[in-house]
Structure 1
């Protein structure tokens, strides 16, 4: 659970980087930060969903 939260923090930092680099018009960095946001965001959401779900 803690690992998923750390990856969510990394995804938030990537989203901030996307916004900052769009303002600076650095599109290569926008691409890398955007892909990182998607990968880390998906990984963190799925980790929290799987490890945070109660067992039945």
Structure 2
């Protein structure tokens, strides 16, 4: 769960970076921040959904 929260915080910081760099008209940075936002955001949401639906964290050996 901590890992998904860290990824979500990273995605939110990238969203802030996208807005800031669009104002500066630095589209190279907007591209990298956009890609990072999509990747980290997708993994964060997928991890949170996985934790909610499976009812736990990593699988354990029985």
Q: TM-score, normalised by structure 1?
A: 0.91
Mapping 1:37-56, distance limit 5 Å: 37-55=37-55
Higher RCO structure (Cα 8 Å, ≥6 apart)? 1
Larger radius of gyration: 2
Aligned to 2:58: none
Q: CA deviation at 1:43?
A: 0.4
**Where does structure 1 lack aligned partners over 5 or more consecutive residues?**
none
Give the structure with the higher percent helix: 1
Q: TM-score, normalised by structure 2?
A: 0.83
Which consecutive aligned stretches of 4+ in structure 1 deviate over 4 angstroms post-superposition?
A: none
CA distance in 1, matches of 2:4, 2:41: 9
Aligned length: 55
Aligned to 2:21: 21
